[in-house]
């Protein structure tokens, strides 16, 4: 959130693009987890969420 607020001060247009990418990544991950929830081991799901967190913070 701090990074996002800081970016808004720098360039609002960039933030919109950045937020859009975050939402897309989030939706893709949700769909992925939903489709493969029966086959994915819990540990793998946790890794996917950690990966998503890394993506949003990067």
- Condensed to tens digits (0 to 9), the pLDDT of residues 3-12 reads 555 555 556 6
Establish if 32 belongs to a structural domain.
yes
Angle between the 12-36 and 42-57 helix axes, to the nearest 10 degrees? Answer: 170
Residues 6-49 pLDDT 10s? 555 556 656 566 667 777 788 888 887 777 766 655 555 666 67
Establish if 1 belongs to a structural domain.
no
Number of structural domains in the chain:
1
Q: At 34, list the tokens.
A: 């939903």
Establish if 23 belongs to a structural domain.
yes
Q: Tokens 């001060």 belong to which residue?
A: 9
- Residue 32's contacts (CB-CB under 8 Å, 6 or more residues apart) are 48
Establish if 8 belongs to a structural domain.
no
Establish if 56 belongs to a structural domain.
yes
Q: Determine the structural domain holding residue 35 and report its residue range.
A: 19-58
pTM above 0.85, yes or no: no
């Amino acid at each position: 959130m701090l990074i996002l607020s800081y970016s808004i001060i720098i360039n609002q247009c960039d933030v919109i693009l950045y937020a859009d990418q975050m939402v897309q990544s989030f939706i893709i991950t949700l769909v992925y987890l939903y489709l493969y929830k029966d086959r994915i081991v819990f540990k793998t799901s946790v890794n996917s969420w950690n990966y998503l967190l890394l993506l949003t913070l990067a």
